[in-house]
Amino acid sequence: MEIPDSVYTQKKAQENQSKMAETPVPSLILSLSVSTVITMLVATTYNIVATYFVADLGESAVAAVGLMFSVMALIQAVGYTWGMGAGSEIARLLGQQNKKAAEQTLATALAGGVVSGVILAVVFGIFRSEIVSLLGATDTSQELAEQYGIYIMMGAPVMCGAYVLNNALRAEGQPYLALMGIVAGGVTNAVLDYVFIKVLGFGIGAAGIATFAGQAVSLVIMYACVRARFSMVRLHIGYLWKFKGAVQVVRIGMPSFLRQGLMCVAAVLLSRSCRRYGDTVLANITVANKIFAVVFAVLVGYGQGFAPVCGFAYGAKTYRRVKRSLNFTMATSVVFMVMVGGMSYLWADRLCGVFMEDAGLAAFSLRAHAVSMPFSAVCLVMGMYYQALGAYGKATLISALRQGVFFIPLIWLLPVWYGEHGVAVVQAAADILSGVTALVFWFICQRTFRTQMKNSRCR
């Protein structure tokens, strides 16, 4: 059943259109980023909360959660392919005032995401023992990883659908609707983790069930939002089966797939590299990576607030706003990461000690991350900038730097030279090299802006 447009809906759409086109760039990015930062932080807590409660079950259980991070990254890769692709396309279509095409894009992405998630779940269900072994499980973590992972993969269709709806709501300038669903899901996950593990004494599988339940709550709430009359880009059930524009959505989302897919590959290589040193080393590096993931989530959330502003301005051909959005986001991101990096370096022992008693290697790894944080900001912002513009080649290249082009050679070389300490600094070293490379692209953009603003009428 289709929901007809109303006077209220049309008025709300006009208000959002004006907000995206006329609000000063810094204010607009900050207002959109508040909800996306919180959204990313809540999403990150799914793994952090699981790690915290599972720590009571021993180092092998923590290692098992670390192993399944690569599986979560794969689900995110698929979900973000459809979600970020749809979000970028919707933002540009709204900038061109093409609401019908934006709604078709939403339906196509949601159907594609859910179907892709079902395929992932089926494959893991059939080959879970082989997959977990391939990820680098030891004899003591193999069974635990399977118990946790089966519920994570059962939730793959739900997670992929939630990623699509989250990005669609943000693209239309209503991120707080997405935030409502994400926060509700995060709270559900945390409460169930506590009840299942602390109160009832269930095993690691209960943490997977809690994650599944939290994601389901998020999806239901966001689905209600995109079906409601106050949504500017509404979901029409009849569009779900047309798959119109699917290729375009996937093309735009491919940098996200590459970025998250390489995160999956990097996690697998890291786990397999740690296997020779045992569960203790993997548990230490898992803890450091989880803490860094919280900081990186803030950066990603901020970038997601920037992306629709940049994409809308580019679609409307207001290149001066495109330039302002990029430079403001770049400057504030680097400053933020310098500050947080300094605090992380000083407090590394205390932060890692929350999760483990013997956290010396974790603290060492976190300090390496702290040094690399400003460089990771440069790389991420430039990647999101090109993706917002639909510049697929450059976006894909930059997305491949930190966990592909530089990470893969380093994961083979540094452990040979420095042993377990080499494993601990691989990601930080890759981030530094990636940031330096991305900075070259930023300088190229400044020259391009000058040319565009000479040849176009800009507001």
For residue range 175-234, what is the model confidence (pLDDT) as tens digits? 778 788 888 888 888 889 888 888 887 878 888 888 889 889 989 998 888 877 666 666
Q: By percentage, how much of the chain surpasses pLDDT 70?
A: 88
State the Cα torsion 154-159-162-166 to the nearest 10°. Answer: 170
| Within-domain flag for 2 | no
Confidence band (pLDDT; 50, 70, 90) for 46? low
Cα 340 from Cα 337, distance rounded (Å): 5
Say whether pLDDT at 458 is over 60: no
Q: Please, are residues 385 and 401 in contact by the beta-carbon 8 Å criterion? A: no
State residue 430's pLDDT score.
93
Which is it for the CA torsion 211, 178, 326, 84, positive or negative? Answer: positive
Contact in structure between 148 and 206 (CB atoms under 8 Å): no
Task: In whole angstroms, give the CA distance from residue 274 to residue 281.
Answer: 6
Task: Please tell me the total count of domains within the chain.
Answer: 1
What integer is the mean pLDDT of 255-275?
Answer: 76
Provide the residue range defining the domain that includes 206. Answer: 7-455
Least confident of 75-84, 250-259, 374-383: 250-259
pLDDT of residue 281 exceeding 50, the answer is yes
Q: Is residue 402 part of a domain?
A: yes
pLDDT at residue 296 tops 70: yes
452, burial (CB in 10 Å: exposed 0-12, middle 13-18, buried 19+): middle
Query: Rounded to an integer, what distance in angstroms lies between the CA atom of residue 294 and that of residue 55?
Result: 18
Is pLDDT at 240 greater than 70 in this prediction? no
> Is 1 contained in some domain?
no
Residue 216 lies in a domain: yes
* Per-residue pLDDT band at 20 (split at 50, 70, 90): low
Average pLDDT rounded to a whole number, residues 227-242? 65
The reply to whether 205 falls in a domain is yes
Residue 220 placed within a domain: yes
* Dihedral sign of CA atoms 58, 61, 67, 72 in order: negative
C-alpha torsion sign, points 101, 105, 308, 88: negative
Q: Is 111 within 8 Å of 243 (Cβ atoms)?
A: yes
In a domain? residue 26: yes
pLDDT given for residue 11 in this prediction? 54
Residues 416-436 have pLDDT tens digits of 888 888 888 888 999 999 999
Tell me the C-alpha distance between 213 and 426, whole Å: 34
Does 310 reside within a domain? Answer: yes
Cα distances from 137 to residues 26, 65, 376, in angstroms, run: 46, 11, 29
Q: Is 231 left (phi over 0), alpha (psi -120 to 50) or beta?
A: beta
pLDDT at res. 340:
92
pLDDT for residue 4 is more than 50: no
Provide the H-helix boundaries in 136-203: 142-154, 156-171, 175-193
Average pLDDT over residues 136-147: 78
Q: What is the mean pLDDT of residues 442-447?
A: 83
